[in-house]
Each structure stands twice: as C-alpha cells, then as structure tokens.
Amino acid sequence: MKLLSLCLFLTASLLLLDHNSTLAEQYNPLKTTENSSSKPIDITMRDKNRDRNIPLRIYLPAQKQAAPVVLFSHGLGGSRTGCQYLGEHWSARGYVVVYMQHAGSDETVWKGVPLLERLKALKSATTLQNTVDRYQDVSAVLDQLSLWNNDATSQFHKKLDLRHIGMSGHSFGAITTQGVSGQAWRLVGQRFTDPRIEAAVMFSPSAQGKTDPALSFGEVKIPWMLLTGTKDTSPINDTTVEDRRKVYQGLPDTIDKYELVLIDAPHSAFADGTERPGRFRRNPKYHEEILAVTTAFWDTYLRQNEQARVWLQGKPCQQQLDPKDEWQFQTRSGKKAKE
C-alpha cells in the first residue's frame, strides 16, 4: 500500500512538472505583436491641493478593454521622456504606462547650469522635501487617473484597470517607488505607502543610511522586484552596490521577492540615453533581460498569469539571463532560487 501511494505521488509530481514545463515553453515575455501599442500622450495634470503641475507621458495599449496601469518615476535630473524602452514594451504587452515628471528633482535642476557645476546642482536637489513631493506626486496622479477613467469626456475614459496598479522607477525613482510601496521611515512609519499599488519594480534601489534594512523594509506587504548591477554605484550620494543589495536582505519572507544583479552593469545600464564616444557602451543584452523579467513580473502579479509565474520562477527565466548574472527569489509559499 505504501509502495502504491509512493508511485501515485511520483506520477502526480512528474505530471505537474511536465505541465509546468509546457506552460513555461508557451510563454514568452519578449513577444509583441505589430501595432500592439500607440504613440505616447504628453499631458500635464494640475494638483490643486499642492498648487503643483505634474507632467505626464502616457502609453495606451492598442486594445479596447481596460488595461492594468504601471507608473514610472524618473531618476534625479530626469524627465518623463526617460527609459522609454520600458514603456514601449510594457504597453505593447497590454499595460497603460504612466511616466511622471517630478518638479524640483527633474531635468530643470541641471539644464542651463555650467558643466562643472552640474553635479553640485544635482546633489542640492536630493532634499527631504523633494522626496516627499515625489511620494505625494504618485498619490495625486493615481487620484487624477481615477477621475479621467470615470469621465466620459476624457480620452482615458474606461481605459484604465485601476484595480491592478504597478509602481516602478530608477534611482531616485526607485527610492520614490520604495516609499509608496511599503518602505517604513523613522518616526512616520509607512505614512506614504499607497494601498492602491499591487506590485513594485525598482531599478537601482537603495537602503536608508545606516538603518537596519529589516526596519525599513520588513513591513512590505506586496511583491517586489529589485534590479541592479555589479558596477551600479552613484557619485551623487556615494551609494555602493552593497547598499543597493541591502534592500532585498531587509524584505520579509511573507511576500514574493526577486533580485537580479546584472554582471558588469553600471547605473546607466537601466537608462536609454544616447551613448557618447569614450563612455560606457551598454550591453544590448541588458535591456532584453530587463524587459523579460519585469514583463513576466507584471504578468504574474497584475494579471495573475500562471504561465508567467511558471516562467519567472523556473528554468526559462534563468536561461534568459547571462550565466554570470546573480538571480534570486523567494516566494511566501517557501519556493526559493539563487543562481
């Protein structure tokens, strides 16, 4: 009887493994169809409560039904036009992608400033007020999207699935994402966490000074994905790769969490700016890997796509990455992987 039970268990396990392998083989996070996205829409919204303008760039997917929404926050000195490769692909995969521009820490900080003084100008913009402004921009944008979605005269009417919202950002935008997606701060706790956000992706995340990462990130309640590189440092605040990797270490075991460390990738690997002669030449595989894992992440947690989950947590994902990359994840169900 025990032998029969063991045989049945092994048979069921093999069938499940074969089923999962088939699901993963059918799923391709890099695949898009022709005419699957449209040109971005540039619009500026007004936050009347703070007397503040928030420029937006919005990508709408080419579909009739309402689509999940992903917000993106730029890095220090950036704008709503940065990292467009993400918006183009995510939109082509069926997401509304909303790029926000944050006054006070955007491109206006350095434009027109003499070259030798730009670093100082950028550093001067890393203030607590600008950080709080960014957090509040996110909630204000979500409020505005809800108004547009319910307004029959709006071009965004019924095009947004606001039950499923993702948040993302690079560098200062990663800090912004952390702050609205569950990071706790001394004295104020999770004051800036927006409960409407369902999942988050951070490019070049960072821990808060010398604070124990578990105190900062131990109360996060939604899935997080973190991406950095083995050369992802910053001259603005002396952030090291070790600082970036502390975030994953501080996250609780009660959520699904992922970390990808791209081999030899510097801070600019996640951007899409013009490459200059004599400067870092971006490995074209970086963006391919970034798009693959983030798309599978959104599909898993904003669409509850089982094929995406199997791909993301299985060998197909690992095969997509460079063998020298560091990839690890842990799910609340106890599944782990570290390469």
Q: What is the pLDDT of residue 197?
A: 98
CA dihedral over 301, 302, 305, 310, signed as positive or negative? negative
- The stretch 66-74 carries a mean pLDDT of 98
Q: What is the pLDDT of residue 238?
A: 82
The pair of three-digit structure tokens given for residue 91, joined into one six-digit string: 């939109």
For 327, list phi and psi in degrees, rounded to 5. Answer: -130, 125
CA–CA separation, 138 and 115 (whole Å): 31
- Determine which of 10-24, 80-94, 228-242, 298-312 has the lowest per-residue pLDDT on average: 10-24
Chain mean pLDDT for the chain: 90
Who has greater pLDDT, 25 or 140?
Answer: 140
Task: Of 122, 148, 327, 173, give the one whose Cα is nearest residue 245.
Answer: 327
- Determine which of 17-26, 137-146, 265-274, 278-287 has the lowest per-residue pLDDT on average: 17-26
Q: Which long-range contacts (CB under 8 A, 24 or more apart) does 210-213 make?
A: 211/186, 212/250, 213/246, 213/247, 213/249, 213/250
- The stretch 259-285 carries a mean pLDDT of 81
Per-residue pLDDT at 22 exceeds 70: no
CA–CA separation, 145 and 143 (whole Å): 6
Per-residue pLDDT at 271 exceeds 60: yes
Who has greater pLDDT, 153 or 12?
Answer: 153
CA–CA separation, 165 and 182 (whole Å): 14
